[in-house]
Amino acid sequence: MHCMKQILSFSLLTCLLLAAIPGRSVDIALPEMGDSAGALISPRDEHQIGQAFFWRLQQSTPLVEDPEVTSYIQSLGYRIAANSSEPGLDYTFFMVPDPAVNAFAAPGGFIGVNSGLLLTAESEDELASVMAHEIAHITQRHILRSFERHKRMTIPRTAAMIAAALLGAADPKAGSAAIMAVQAGDIQSQLDYSRAHETEADNIGMQTLVAAGFDPEAMPSFFEKLQLASRYYGGDAVPEFLRTHPVTTSRIADAKGRAVQYQVRPQLGDHKQFYLIREKLRVMMTDKMSDLLDHYKSAMSRDDGKHNDAVRYGYALALLKNGQHTLAREALQPLLEKERDRLAYQLALADIELAVGRVESALEIYDDNQRLYPDDQALTMEQVQALLRVGRPQQADKLLQTQLELGENSGQVYKLLAQTKEQMGQKSQSHRYLAEFYFQSGLLKAAADQLQLAANAAGHDEYQRASIASRLREVEEALAQMEE
């Protein structure tokens, strides 16, 4: 993610691509967009660009895969998107384990949130305000509008601009020079247009934020905090969000002016979950456990009443990660006595049981909570892993099939299904689900190989072989496009 430190805001397209591409050159095959006299690219083509971007991103940058964290960021994203101007768009929300304070949007509804953003936000409203801003970039088709402004550019020139952006990921100086050549002195107008997009994203994003039940003042307030932090620290300490989304004093003032025009509605949702997830993420991201444990001990000793439960929860998780299982259970117990039905505490208790080898006890916890939170994504994923650990693939398969029926078709679901089918002795199905996992991860050649193995293992089952062959053609077409 280091390339985000380069201020390449010559076009919104450049900005969006550089916002998340890791510090090395990658090739992204783009669908044919027609000539300069043709129409703008279709939503399908736009999604293909975003999909290609997401595939490449996963191949070089790890994503946060913890079921609770991913479930939270997806739920929050879908809640906001449901109140946008395009609630039916196929959004993909994901988290990158990067301490930089940033979020980014790619064509087709792909929205990434850095772990640093969630850890820095002081409320769910602040996190939601940034996500609403990114959703607005997508719903307003800012990339398409950038192309529309430059209809005169031929496809080779457009491709050159994109290539320049990608070169900039590996060599900022080379990238800047290439962009300079492509744009032929038109840099300032592009920069102004990008700023116009940012202003529009603020405006539309705030409307979406309010419609989703969040505080509109959170947006200018959070931007102001980031700007203030950059003044204190300066240099490379400037928050990444300000590098890729330049915030000026007048822009903050405009946002404040818009915010006061909205009547703040009663806050919806479980805001405590934000603080719990923030502490879980803090424990996951730290590599200095002794310092973190000291931090939690100090915070609990102050007992200032501010998110004390979340602090204790984080302390319990830190003790667990540090191998101090008995102390972790003791730290968690007061929270269980206070809110026994809170799923986060129950999952933490199950994790402690698993850590000490009491798998059956953990499974009882999962079963009890399935009655309270039927088919919860995080609960189900953790339960399935425990079931596979003790060799109960039939139960795991039933839970995972329900997740597919509910529309949860993430790579992790497919990976667990592959393991489940393997334990059940269904080799063809195991290879097929593993192929879907590889496809979701952008490893298209590996996906095609697994489908070939699935076809071989299907034997004389003509229906299954025909279905696999059809899917293999789709994967090979995607692979060919990526290799163009």
Averaged pLDDT in 10-residue chunks for the chain of 484 residues: 33 37 36 40 75 80 94 97 95 93 84 94 96 93 61 39 36 45 46 71 94 93 81 54 68 87 71 96 96 95 83 98 98 97 98 98 98 97 98 98 94 97 98 98 96 96 96 94 71
pTM of the model: 0.83
Contact partners, residue 113, CB within 8 Å, separation at least 6: 73, 93, 94, 95, 96, 103, 127, 130, 131
pLDDT reported for residue 344: 98
pLDDT reported for residue 146: 60
Query: What's the sign of the alpha-carbon dihedral 401, 405, 406, 410?
Result: positive
Cα separation of 283 and 123, whole Å? Answer: 18
pLDDT reported for residue 106: 78
- Domain ranges (residues) in the chain: 2-259, 270-356
Cα separation of 117 and 109, whole Å? Answer: 19
pLDDT reported for residue 381: 98
pLDDT reported for residue 239: 62
pLDDT reported for residue 194: 73
pLDDT reported for residue 8: 30
Write out the two tokens for 280: 């879980």
| DSSP-assigned states of every residue in 56-68 | HHHHHS-----HH
pLDDT reported for residue 55: 84
What pairing do the DSSP bridges indicate for beta strands 110-114 and 103-106? antiparallel
Report the DSSP beta bridge partners of residue 111.
93, 105
pLDDT reported for residue 213: 92
Write out the two tokens for 401: 């099939």
| Torsion angle, alpha carbons of 277, 242, 49, 158, to 10 | 180
pLDDT reported for residue 40: 59
pLDDT reported for residue 168: 36
Q: What is the distance of C-alpha 23 from the center of its chain?
A: 19
